[in-house]
């Protein structure tokens, strides 16, 4: 074998494609129910979009982007996340001016240069939603409900919804100072990684998996205790509304998210069935992002969810995706003239939306029968010397083995 797929990529083979079709159809269905419209943006963007939108301090931009110079010397990046490109299109196309509220979703590949492991790829597929133009708490709630509905319809119920608020930028800056103050006394107990983050990205210390770090941050001041009155109320309203709707969630002060643009609500869907990469999806508000990208101030909230991870969890739960569709009729031809007749008859069925197949390997009668059986067809239609003489083929029902003579142009009338 000379060629391999690039590290971190995957082939979706015919036997597993039905899972993907299923999940994709659930997403189309649910986004329709919530009245979201699909938007498709390019596979690559100019690199600056992500630097500006996502933030140069984030790991995604700092070390995980697929960036290259094209032949014209422009710096191009394969999209590592969905929100910034959608915002760019939103501004560039001018659709923001057509109405005040936009509910958009996407389903597309994302690229991050990372070391692959369970549930983590260099190219993965993400489904995400964005609501633009409103800061109503119902926009946060609606996205959470929509993601939950997709998961539920894929047979996934064993996940947790974790919520947090990281407040407005000035509230966050204020809190970071408080957090730093607290961590200062424990600085030498922190892990090496966390020590580095103390200056550059203090909040991230909160979601470190190191046990030592956890112990320290367990009793650290919580951001939700240091929000302004308005932000605090907004967060409480989101939590209360989810509760009122019967959605179980828990507040987790460690959900700070790795992208710079988030404000106020952040959330994650986590499942223990995923192994170490336990996030099924996540998102949050980004009320300052559009302005940052050159637009007028515009509220926004969004989330992204990995299709591969949805499939992993659904499978662990024993969910059965739709069965692949088998052809209805298999044409068995025993000589060259019969093949011509069979092929015409097959074409006629196909034109009438009836799936069928023929032997393309010039196999023996028995081999063709075996093939038909393997394909799980309902009928075989047999044409040989005798049938050509009579101008009638044999239509055999594979489940009860009964067979009748049917003229070449009447196959359709005699099935189902």
Partner RNA sequence: GUGAGCGUAGUUCAGUUGGUUAGAACAUCAGAUUGUGGCUCUGAGGGUCGGGGGUUCGAAUCCCCUCGCUCACCCCA
Residue 385: CB atoms within 10 A of its CB come to 11
- Rule CB under 7 A: is residue 363 a binding residue for RNA? yes
Task: Identify any residues that bridge with 89 across adjacent strands, giving them in sequence order.
Answer: none
> How far apart are alpha carbons 120 and 123 in whole angstroms?
9
Tokens 């600085």 belong to 187
Q: What string marks each residue from 189 to 228 as x (binds RNA by CB under 7 A) or -?
A: ----x---x------x--xxxx------------------
Span near RNA by CB under 7 A; candidates 22-30, 174-182, 293-301, 384-392: 384-392
CB of residue 296 vs RNA: minimum separation in angstroms? 25
- Rule CB under 7 A: is residue 387 a binding residue for RNA? yes
- Rule CB under 7 A: is residue 254 a binding residue for RNA? no
Q: Which of 31, 77, 108, 126 binds RNA (CB under 7 A)?
A: 126
Span near RNA by CB under 7 A; candidates 18-26, 137-145, 270-278, 317-325: 270-278
Spatial contact of 269 and 281, defined as CB atoms under 8 Å apart = yes
What's the per-residue H, E or C state across 279-307? EEEEEEECCCHHHHCCCCCCCEEEEEEEH
> How far apart are alpha carbons 50 and 45 in whole angstroms?
8
Q: Which of 33, 118, 347, 404 binds RNA (CB under 7 A)?
A: 118
Structure tokens at 302: 């969004």
Closer residue to RNA (CB): 45 or 371: 371
Query: Percent helix, strand, coil in the chain (nearest 5)?
Result: 45, 20, 35
Distances (CA, A) of 276 to 93, 209, 223, 301, 332: 40, 10, 26, 27, 52
- Rule CB under 7 A: is residue 138 a binding residue for RNA? no
Q: Which of 351, 399, 413, 416 binds RNA (CB under 7 A)?
A: 399
Burial bucket for residue 246 (CB in 10 Å: 0-12, 13-18, 19+): exposed
CB of residue 239 vs RNA: minimum separation in angstroms? 21
CB of residue 414 vs RNA: minimum separation in angstroms? 16
> How far apart are alpha carbons 103 and 333 in whole angstroms?
54
Closer residue to RNA (CB): 306 or 327: 306
Range list of β-strands (E), 133-216: 160-165
- Rule CB under 7 A: is residue 252 a binding residue for RNA? no
- Rule CB under 7 A: is residue 327 a binding residue for RNA? no
> How far apart are alpha carbons 379 and 415 in whole angstroms?
8
Closer residue to RNA (CB): 204 or 234: 204
Q: Which of 52, 79, 120, 339 binds RNA (CB under 7 A)?
A: 120
- Rule CB under 7 A: is residue 374 a binding residue for RNA? yes
> How far apart are alpha carbons 385 and 365 in whole angstroms?
13
- Short-list 309, 320, 318, CA closest to 151: 309
Q: What string marks each residue from 159 to 178 as x (binds RNA by CB under 7 A) or -?
A: --------------------
Which element (helix H / strand E) includes 104? strand 102-111
CB of residue 58 vs RNA: minimum separation in angstroms? 6
Q: Which of 136, 277, 292, 348 binds RNA (CB under 7 A)?
A: 277
Structure tokens at 119: 């549930």
Spatial contact of 103 and 131, defined as CB atoms under 8 Å apart = yes
Q: Which of 364, 404, 407, 409 binds RNA (CB under 7 A)?
A: 364
Residues interacting with RNA, by CB under 7 A?
4-5, 7, 58-60, 64, 81, 110, 112, 114-122, 124, 126, 193, 197, 204, 207-210, 257-259, 268, 275-282, 304-306, 308-309, 334, 363-367, 369-374, 380, 382, 384-387, 394, 396, 398-399, 401, 403
């Amino acid at each position: 074998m000379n060629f391999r797929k690039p590290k971190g990529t995957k082939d979706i083979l015919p036997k597993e494609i039905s899972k993907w079709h299923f999940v994709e159809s659930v997403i189309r269905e649910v986004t329709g129910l919530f009245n979201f419209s699909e938007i498709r943006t390019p596979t690559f963007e100019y690199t600056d979009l992500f630097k500006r939108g996502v933030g140069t301090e984030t790991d995604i931009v700092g070390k995980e982007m697929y960036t290259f110079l094209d032949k014209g010397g422009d710096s191009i990046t394969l999209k590592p996340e969905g929100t910034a490109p959608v915002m760019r299109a939103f501004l560039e196309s001018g659709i923001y001016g057509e109405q005040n509220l936009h509910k958009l979703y996407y389903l597309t590949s994302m690229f991050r240069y990372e070391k692959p492991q369970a549930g983590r790829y260099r190219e993965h597929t993400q489904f995400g939603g964005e609501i633009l133009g409103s800061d109503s708490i119902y926009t946060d709630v609606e996205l959470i409900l929509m993601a939950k509905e997709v998961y539920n319809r894929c047979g996934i119920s064993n996940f947790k919804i974790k919520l947090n608020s990281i407040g407005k930028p000035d509230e966050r800056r204020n809190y970071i100072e408080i957090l730093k103050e607290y961590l200062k006394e424990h600085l030498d107990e922190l892990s090496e990684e966390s020590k580095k983050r103390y200056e550059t990205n203090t909040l991230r210390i909160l979601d470190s998996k190191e046990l030592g770090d956890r112990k320290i941050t367990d009793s650290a001041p919580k951001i939700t205790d240091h929000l302004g009155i308005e932000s605090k109320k907004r967060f409480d309203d989101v939590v209360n509304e989810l509760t009122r709707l019967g959605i179980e969630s828990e507040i987790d002060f460690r959900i700070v998210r790795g992208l710079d643009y988030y404000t106020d609500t952040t959330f994650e869907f986590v499942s223990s069935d995923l192994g170490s990469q336990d996030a099924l999806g996540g998102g949050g508000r980004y009320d300052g992002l559009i302005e940052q990208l050159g637009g007028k101030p515009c509220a926004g909230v969004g989330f992204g969810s990995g299709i591969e991870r949805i499939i992993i969890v659904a499978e662990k739960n024993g969910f059965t995706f739709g069965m692949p569709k088998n052809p209805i009729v298999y044409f068995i031809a025993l000589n060259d003239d019969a093949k011509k007749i069979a092929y015409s008859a097959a074409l006629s069925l196909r034109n009438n939306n009836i799936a069928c197949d023929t032997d393309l390997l010039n196999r023996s009668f028995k081999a063709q029968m075996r093939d038909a059986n393997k394909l799980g067809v309902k009928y075989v239609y047999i044409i040989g010397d005798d049938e050509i003489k009579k101008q009638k083929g044999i239509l055999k029902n594979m489940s009860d083995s009964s067979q009748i003579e049917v003229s070449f142009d009447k196959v359709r009338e005699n099935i189902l």
